[in-house]
């Protein structure tokens, strides 16, 4: 009788233990359920300039995908696309190469756009994201203008995240009157200038080795006249486009100081 009572006591303790264990496990499951879901796009929502080394070098990402997003009537010129491809291939070191993807979307409503609205558009239409050994860049050729435009001055493009930029294609078409020479020149200059900002120029992350060449009157731009990152490279008024292209028959390039900064960012 005593042995039977002892056995029942042990069984009761075991049942109690497993009951409490089940409650604990269920509580852990509920705690896990309440954990925030990791944003799969987080790698593409970092501050401007933060991915310069990842884009330029082969150490973390061995492949680069560049997505060009535009609506039917706001596709960049083929001259711009070809020049941009050569420009990027000449800058980056990717053992698995650079891939360009063109995505055609519907025209986006409610322009002129704030930069927050541009980010919302990206969330809707972007298809290429950084994943695995591939880092992705997004370039949106907007069918609308920037809300920052004034009666005399316009915004041609803005780089706003580590892998994101907008080109105000409609504005470029308007100010150039879609001239066959002026349009691709201004368009290409704008795209490559904004890409320079994505690469951290000039002193975007306060890490350039040549801080003295930042234009203190026009921050985050190079003070070397004629450089791609010079403030006037894309600083045009509605009435000054002719002056912009006068005497210029090619897209500006990085000056030696900017090139040295890029070498530093890529770890050379």
Q: Could you tell me the residue ranges of all domains in the chain?
A: 42-265
Kindly report, residue by residue over 120-141, the tens digit of the pLDDT.
999 999 999 999 999 999 999 9
The arithmetic mean of pLDDT across residues 231-242, rounded, is 65
pLDDT of residue 13: 53
CATH class as words, domain 42-265: alpha beta
Residue 242's pLDDT band, with cuts at 50, 70 and 90, is low
What is the CA 16 to chain-centroid distance, rounded? 57
The arithmetic mean of pLDDT across residues 180-190, rounded, is 93
pTM: predicted TM-score of the whole model, two decimal places: 0.84
Residue 244 is inside which H or E element, if any? helix 241-245
Name the strands in the sheet holding 164-167, side by side, starting at the edge strand that comes first in the sequence. 98-105, 63-71, 134-141, 164-167, 157-161
* CA–CA separation, 100 and 64 (whole Å): 9
The arithmetic mean of pLDDT across residues 75-97, rounded, is 98
């Amino acid at each position: 009788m005593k042995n039977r009572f002892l056995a029942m006591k042990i069984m009761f303790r075991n049942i109690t233990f497993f009951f409490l264990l089940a409650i604990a496990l269920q509580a852990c499951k509920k705690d896990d359920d309440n954990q925030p879901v990791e944003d799969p796009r987080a790698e593409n929502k970092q501050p401007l300039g933060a991915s310069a080394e990842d884009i330029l070098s082969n150490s973390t990402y061995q492949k680069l995908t560049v997505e060009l997003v535009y609506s039917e009537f706001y596709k960049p010129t083929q001259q711009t696309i070809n020049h941009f491809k050569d420009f990027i291939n000449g800058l980056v070191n990717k053992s698995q190469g650079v891939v360009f993807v063109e995505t055609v979307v519907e025209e986006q409503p409610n322009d002129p756009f704030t930069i927050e609205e541009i980010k919302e558009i990206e969330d809707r239409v972007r298809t290429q994201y950084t994943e695995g050994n591939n880092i992705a860049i997004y370039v949106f050729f907007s069918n609308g203008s920037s809300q920052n435009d004034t009666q005399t001055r316009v915004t041609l493009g803005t780089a706003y995240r580590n892998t994101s930029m907008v080109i105000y294609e409609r504005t470029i078409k308007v100010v150039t009157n879609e001239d066959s020479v002026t349009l691709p020149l201004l368009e290409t200059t704008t795209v490559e200038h904004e890409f320079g900002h994505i690469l951290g120029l000039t002193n975007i992350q306060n890490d350039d080795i040549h801080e003295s060449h930042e234009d203190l009157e026009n921050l985050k731009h190079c003070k070397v006249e004629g450089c791609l990152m010079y403030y006037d490279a894309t600083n045009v008024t509605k009435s000054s486009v002719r002056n912009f292209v006068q005497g210029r028959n090619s897209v500006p390039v990085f000056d030696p100081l900017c090139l040295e900064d890029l070498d530093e960012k890529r770890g050379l």
